[in-house]
Protein backbone atom coordinates (compact mmCIF):
# COMPACT_ATOMS: atom_id res chain seq x y z
CA UNK A 1 0.00 0.00 0.00
CA UNK A 2 1.09 3.57 -0.66
CA UNK A 3 2.49 5.42 2.34
CA UNK A 4 2.60 9.07 3.39
CA UNK A 5 4.08 10.86 6.39
CA UNK A 6 2.90 12.40 9.66
CA UNK A 7 5.91 14.26 11.00
CA UNK A 8 8.62 11.60 11.28
CA UNK A 9 6.09 8.75 11.04
CA UNK A 10 5.38 6.76 7.88
CA UNK A 11 1.80 5.49 7.58
CA UNK A 12 -0.38 3.59 5.14
CA UNK A 13 -2.80 5.79 3.20
CA UNK A 14 -5.69 3.78 4.62
CA UNK A 15 -5.74 3.56 8.41
CA UNK A 16 -7.95 1.71 10.87
CA UNK A 17 -10.25 3.65 13.15
CA UNK A 18 -10.78 1.72 16.38
CA UNK A 19 -13.80 3.50 17.82
CA UNK A 20 -15.98 0.38 17.40
CA UNK A 21 -13.77 -1.72 19.66
CA UNK A 22 -15.42 -2.30 23.03
CA UNK A 23 -18.67 -0.63 21.98
CA UNK A 24 -20.12 -2.23 18.85
CA UNK A 25 -17.79 -5.24 18.87
CA UNK A 26 -16.02 -7.32 21.52
CA UNK A 27 -12.60 -8.84 22.05
CA UNK A 28 -12.86 -11.70 19.55
CA UNK A 29 -14.20 -9.49 16.75
CA UNK A 30 -11.56 -6.87 17.50
CA UNK A 31 -8.80 -9.47 17.21
CA UNK A 32 -10.16 -10.61 13.83
CA UNK A 33 -10.29 -7.07 12.47
CA UNK A 34 -6.83 -6.15 13.76
CA UNK A 35 -5.39 -9.31 12.23
CA UNK A 36 -7.04 -8.57 8.89
CA UNK A 37 -5.73 -4.99 8.95
CA UNK A 38 -2.18 -6.11 9.70
CA UNK A 39 -2.30 -8.71 6.94
CA UNK A 40 -3.66 -6.12 4.49
CA UNK A 41 -0.76 -3.73 5.10
CA UNK A 42 -2.51 -1.15 7.27
CA UNK A 43 0.04 0.49 9.55
CA UNK A 44 -1.91 3.35 11.18
CA UNK A 45 -4.21 2.29 14.02
CA UNK A 46 -6.15 5.17 15.59
CA UNK A 47 -8.00 4.94 18.89
CA UNK A 48 -8.76 7.13 21.94
CA UNK A 49 -8.83 6.65 25.68
CA UNK A 50 -12.61 7.23 25.75
CA UNK A 51 -13.59 4.82 22.95
CA UNK A 52 -15.65 1.90 24.17
CA UNK A 53 -15.46 3.22 27.72
CA UNK A 54 -11.66 2.74 27.59
CA UNK A 55 -12.06 -0.82 26.28
CA UNK A 56 -10.88 0.09 22.78
CA UNK A 57 -7.30 0.65 23.91
CA UNK A 58 -7.31 -2.55 25.95
CA UNK A 59 -8.73 -4.70 23.15
CA UNK A 60 -6.40 -3.14 20.58
CA UNK A 61 -3.33 -3.70 22.74
CA UNK A 62 -4.28 -7.33 23.31
CA UNK A 63 -4.97 -7.91 19.61
CA UNK A 64 -1.67 -6.38 18.50
CA UNK A 65 0.38 -8.37 20.96
CA UNK A 66 3.86 -9.08 19.64
CA UNK A 67 3.06 -7.26 16.38
CA UNK A 68 2.81 -3.85 18.07
CA UNK A 69 6.12 -2.68 16.56
CA UNK A 70 4.78 -3.25 13.02
CA UNK A 71 2.40 -0.33 13.29
CA UNK A 72 2.04 3.36 14.04
CA UNK A 73 -0.09 3.51 17.18
CA UNK A 74 -2.20 6.64 17.56
CA UNK A 75 -4.47 7.48 20.46
CA UNK A 76 -6.17 10.55 21.89
CA UNK A 77 -6.70 12.20 25.24
CA UNK A 78 -8.63 15.12 26.64
CA UNK A 79 -12.29 14.28 26.03
CA UNK A 80 -14.14 13.50 29.26
CA UNK A 81 -15.39 9.98 29.91
CA UNK A 82 -16.61 8.02 32.91
CA UNK A 83 -14.39 8.73 35.88
CA UNK A 84 -12.18 11.16 33.95
CA UNK A 85 -12.71 14.91 33.74
CA UNK A 86 -10.74 15.35 30.53
CA UNK A 87 -8.89 18.46 29.54
CA UNK A 88 -5.33 19.30 28.52
CA UNK A 89 -3.76 20.56 31.74
CA UNK A 90 -0.24 19.13 32.18
CA UNK A 91 -1.12 17.07 35.26
CA UNK A 92 -4.09 15.49 33.49
CA UNK A 93 -2.05 14.78 30.36
CA UNK A 94 0.49 12.86 32.45
CA UNK A 95 -2.24 10.82 34.10
CA UNK A 96 -3.96 10.16 30.76
CA UNK A 97 -0.87 8.89 29.00
CA UNK A 98 0.06 6.50 31.79
CA UNK A 99 -3.47 5.07 31.66
CA UNK A 100 -3.27 4.69 27.88
CA UNK A 101 0.18 3.08 27.96
CA UNK A 102 -1.09 0.55 30.48
CA UNK A 103 -4.24 -0.29 28.54
CA UNK A 104 -2.38 -0.56 25.23
CA UNK A 105 0.41 -2.64 26.77
CA UNK A 106 3.15 -0.51 25.25
CA UNK A 107 5.92 1.82 26.37
CA UNK A 108 5.23 4.59 23.87
CA UNK A 109 2.52 6.26 21.79
CA UNK A 110 3.58 7.00 18.23
CA UNK A 111 1.02 9.77 17.67
CA UNK A 112 -0.59 11.28 20.78
CA UNK A 113 -3.50 13.60 19.95
CA UNK A 114 -5.44 16.16 21.93
CA UNK A 115 -8.99 14.97 21.21
CA UNK A 116 -10.81 18.28 21.72
CA UNK A 117 -9.68 21.83 22.50
CA UNK A 118 -9.49 22.74 26.18
CA UNK A 119 -10.44 26.43 26.61
CA UNK A 120 -9.42 26.32 30.29
CA UNK A 121 -5.77 25.48 29.64
CA UNK A 122 -3.37 27.71 27.68
CA UNK A 123 -2.24 25.77 24.64
CA UNK A 124 1.40 26.59 25.45
CA UNK A 125 1.10 24.55 28.66
CA UNK A 126 -0.25 21.55 26.78
CA UNK A 127 2.44 21.75 24.12
CA UNK A 128 5.03 22.06 26.86
CA UNK A 129 4.04 18.83 28.59
CA UNK A 130 3.74 17.01 25.26
CA UNK A 131 7.28 18.13 24.39
CA UNK A 132 8.41 16.71 27.74
CA UNK A 133 6.75 13.37 26.94
CA UNK A 134 8.60 13.28 23.62
CA UNK A 135 11.90 13.93 25.41
CA UNK A 136 11.06 11.11 27.85
CA UNK A 137 10.42 8.68 25.00
CA UNK A 138 6.76 8.12 25.85
CA UNK A 139 5.53 9.95 22.73
CA UNK A 140 7.08 10.11 19.27
CA UNK A 141 4.89 12.81 17.71
CA UNK A 142 1.79 14.67 18.85
CA UNK A 143 -1.20 16.15 17.10
CA UNK A 144 -4.66 17.59 17.70
CA UNK A 145 -8.25 16.91 16.74
CA UNK A 146 -11.31 19.10 16.19
CA UNK A 147 -9.16 22.25 15.90
CA UNK A 148 -10.10 25.13 13.63
CA UNK A 149 -7.61 27.38 11.85
CA UNK A 150 -7.48 30.03 14.62
CA UNK A 151 -6.55 27.39 17.20
CA UNK A 152 -3.94 25.89 14.87
CA UNK A 153 -2.39 29.33 14.44
CA UNK A 154 -2.49 29.91 18.20
CA UNK A 155 -0.77 26.57 18.80
CA UNK A 156 1.90 27.37 16.21
CA UNK A 157 2.59 30.73 17.84
CA UNK A 158 2.89 29.03 21.26
CA UNK A 159 5.37 26.42 20.02
CA UNK A 160 9.08 27.13 20.69
CA UNK A 161 11.14 27.61 17.53
CA UNK A 162 13.24 24.53 18.31
CA UNK A 163 10.21 22.23 18.88
CA UNK A 164 8.03 20.51 16.26
CA UNK A 165 4.64 21.22 17.85
CA UNK A 166 1.50 19.59 16.44
CA UNK A 167 2.30 17.48 13.36
CA UNK A 168 -1.30 16.55 12.53
CA UNK A 169 -4.91 17.58 12.86
CA UNK A 170 -7.79 15.11 12.78
CA UNK A 171 -11.14 16.63 11.82
CA UNK A 172 -14.32 15.39 10.21
CA UNK A 173 -14.02 15.42 6.44
CA UNK A 174 -15.77 13.59 3.63
CA UNK A 175 -17.47 14.27 0.32
CA UNK A 176 -20.59 15.08 2.35
CA UNK A 177 -18.82 17.15 5.03
CA UNK A 178 -16.37 19.52 3.33
CA UNK A 179 -15.86 22.11 6.06
CA UNK A 180 -12.03 21.71 6.12
CA UNK A 181 -11.97 23.12 2.59
CA UNK A 182 -13.78 26.29 3.63
CA UNK A 183 -12.64 26.95 7.20
CA UNK A 184 -8.96 27.29 6.34
CA UNK A 185 -7.76 24.07 8.01
CA UNK A 186 -6.70 22.28 4.83
CA UNK A 187 -4.99 25.44 3.60
CA UNK A 188 -3.14 25.74 6.90
CA UNK A 189 -2.02 22.11 6.65
CA UNK A 190 -0.68 22.62 3.14
CA UNK A 191 1.06 25.83 4.16
CA UNK A 192 2.78 24.37 7.22
CA UNK A 193 3.25 20.73 6.18
CA UNK A 194 0.95 19.49 8.93
CA UNK A 195 -0.77 16.19 8.11
CA UNK A 196 -4.56 16.07 7.89
CA UNK A 197 -6.38 12.95 9.11
CA UNK A 198 -10.07 12.81 8.14
CA UNK A 199 -12.46 11.04 10.47
CA UNK A 200 -15.92 9.86 9.39
CA UNK A 201 -14.54 9.59 5.82
CA UNK A 202 -17.59 7.54 4.84
CA UNK A 203 -19.97 10.10 6.39
CA UNK A 204 -20.95 7.76 9.23
CA UNK A 205 -21.51 4.96 6.72
CA UNK A 206 -23.59 6.86 4.16
CA UNK A 207 -20.79 6.44 1.59
CA UNK A 208 -20.32 2.73 2.27
CA UNK A 209 -22.93 1.69 -0.28
CA UNK A 210 -25.35 0.36 2.37
CA UNK A 211 -27.89 3.18 2.24
CA UNK A 212 -30.21 3.65 -0.74
CA UNK A 213 -33.38 5.71 -1.25
CA UNK A 214 -36.56 3.70 -0.79
CA UNK A 215 -34.81 0.69 0.75
CA UNK A 216 -34.90 -0.44 4.40
CA UNK A 217 -32.09 0.83 6.58
CA UNK A 218 -29.28 -1.73 6.97
CA UNK A 219 -29.67 -3.65 10.21
CA UNK A 220 -27.03 -2.91 12.86
CA UNK A 221 -25.42 -0.03 10.93
CA UNK A 222 -24.26 3.12 12.75
CA UNK A 223 -26.96 5.48 11.48
CA UNK A 224 -29.67 2.85 11.86
CA UNK A 225 -28.73 2.47 15.51
CA UNK A 226 -28.91 6.24 16.06
CA UNK A 227 -32.64 6.31 15.30
CA UNK A 228 -34.17 9.80 15.34
CA UNK A 229 -30.73 11.35 15.92
CA UNK A 230 -29.81 10.38 12.35
CA UNK A 231 -32.84 12.00 10.72
CA UNK A 232 -30.83 14.74 8.98
CA UNK A 233 -28.28 12.25 7.65
CA UNK A 234 -31.02 10.01 6.31
CA UNK A 235 -33.19 12.69 4.72
CA UNK A 236 -34.47 12.14 1.22
CA UNK A 237 -32.23 14.89 -0.11
CA UNK A 238 -29.12 13.41 1.50
CA UNK A 239 -29.90 9.89 0.24
CA UNK A 240 -30.50 11.27 -3.25
CA UNK A 241 -27.03 12.85 -3.15
CA UNK A 242 -25.54 9.52 -2.07
CA UNK A 243 -27.36 7.78 -4.93
CA UNK A 244 -25.96 10.29 -7.42
CA UNK A 245 -22.44 9.74 -6.10
CA UNK A 246 -22.93 6.00 -6.36
CA UNK A 247 -24.03 6.41 -9.97
CA UNK A 248 -20.92 8.48 -10.71
CA UNK A 249 -18.69 5.85 -9.15
CA UNK A 250 -20.31 2.98 -11.06
CA UNK A 251 -19.94 4.82 -14.36
CA UNK A 252 -16.23 4.74 -13.60
CA UNK A 253 -16.26 1.05 -12.65
CA UNK A 254 -15.92 1.73 -8.93
CA UNK A 255 -18.08 1.70 -5.82
CA UNK A 256 -19.18 4.75 -3.87
CA UNK A 257 -16.83 3.58 -1.08
CA UNK A 258 -13.95 3.67 -3.59
CA UNK A 259 -14.98 7.19 -4.54
CA UNK A 260 -15.21 8.35 -0.91
CA UNK A 261 -11.73 7.15 0.01
CA UNK A 262 -10.04 7.86 -3.32
CA UNK A 263 -11.47 11.40 -3.39
CA UNK A 264 -9.95 12.16 0.02
CA UNK A 265 -6.57 10.82 -1.06
CA UNK A 266 -6.43 13.30 -3.95
CA UNK A 267 -5.98 15.98 -1.27
CA UNK A 268 -2.22 16.54 -0.79
CA UNK A 269 -2.53 17.28 2.94
CA UNK A 270 -4.36 14.02 3.71
CA UNK A 271 -1.87 11.53 5.15
CA UNK A 272 -4.21 8.62 5.85
CA UNK A 273 -7.94 7.96 5.65
CA UNK A 274 -9.05 6.56 9.00
CA UNK A 275 -11.92 4.17 8.34
CA UNK A 276 -13.57 2.00 10.96
CA UNK A 277 -14.66 -1.59 10.53
CA UNK A 278 -16.79 -4.16 12.31
CA UNK A 279 -15.98 -7.05 9.93
CA UNK A 280 -12.74 -8.19 8.25
CA UNK A 281 -14.28 -7.92 4.77
CA UNK A 282 -14.68 -4.19 5.32
CA UNK A 283 -10.91 -3.97 5.80
CA UNK A 284 -10.42 -5.58 2.39
CA UNK A 285 -12.80 -3.12 0.75
CA UNK A 286 -11.24 -0.08 2.44
CA UNK A 287 -7.71 -1.05 1.43
CA UNK A 288 -8.78 -1.70 -2.18
CA UNK A 289 -10.47 1.71 -2.27
CA UNK A 290 -7.20 3.35 -1.28
CA UNK A 291 -5.63 2.35 -4.59
CA UNK A 292 -7.89 4.55 -6.77
CA UNK A 293 -7.31 8.24 -7.50
CA UNK A 294 -10.31 9.77 -9.29
CA UNK A 295 -9.39 11.93 -12.27
CA UNK A 296 -10.19 15.62 -12.74
CA UNK A 297 -13.44 14.82 -14.56
CA UNK A 298 -14.68 12.75 -11.62
CA UNK A 299 -13.59 15.38 -9.11
CA UNK A 300 -15.48 18.04 -11.07
CA UNK A 301 -18.59 15.85 -11.12
CA UNK A 302 -18.37 15.40 -7.34
CA UNK A 303 -18.31 19.18 -6.94
CA UNK A 304 -21.58 19.40 -8.88
CA UNK A 305 -23.30 16.61 -6.92
CA UNK A 306 -22.00 17.53 -3.45
CA UNK A 307 -20.68 21.09 -3.57
CA UNK A 308 -18.80 22.79 -0.76
CA UNK A 309 -21.04 24.71 1.61
Residues catalogued as catalytic: 51
What is the Rg, in whole angstroms, of the alpha carbon atoms belonging to the chain? 19
Q: 297 with 249: CB under 8 angstroms?
A: no
> 60, 104 in Cβ contact below 8 A?
yes
Torsion sign (Cα): 146, 269, 183, 211: negative
User: How many helical (H) and strand (E) elements, i.e. helices and strands, does the chain have?
Assistant: 12, 10
CA dist 8 and 19 (Å) reads 25
25: closest CA among 276, 284, 220, 278?
278
**For residue 53, how far is the Cα from the chain centroid?**
18
Residues 6+ apart with CB under 8 A from 182: 308, 309
Half-sphere exposure of 157 (CA within 13 A, CB side): 7
Angle at 203 between CA 292 and CA 227, to 5 degrees: 145
Helix, strand or coil for residue 113?
strand
Exposed e or buried b per residue across 269-285, where buried means at least 16 C-beta atoms within 10 angstroms of its C-beta: bbbbbbbbbbebebbeb
Amino acid sequence: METRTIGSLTVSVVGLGCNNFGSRIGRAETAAIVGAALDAGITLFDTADMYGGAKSETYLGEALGARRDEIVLATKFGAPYEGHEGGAAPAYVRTAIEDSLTRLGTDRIDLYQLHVPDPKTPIAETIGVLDELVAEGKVREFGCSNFGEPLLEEAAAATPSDAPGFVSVQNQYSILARTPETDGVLDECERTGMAFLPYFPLAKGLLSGKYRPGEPLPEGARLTNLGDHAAADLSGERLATVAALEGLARRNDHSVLDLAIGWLLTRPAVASVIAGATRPDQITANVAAGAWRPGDDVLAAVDVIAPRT
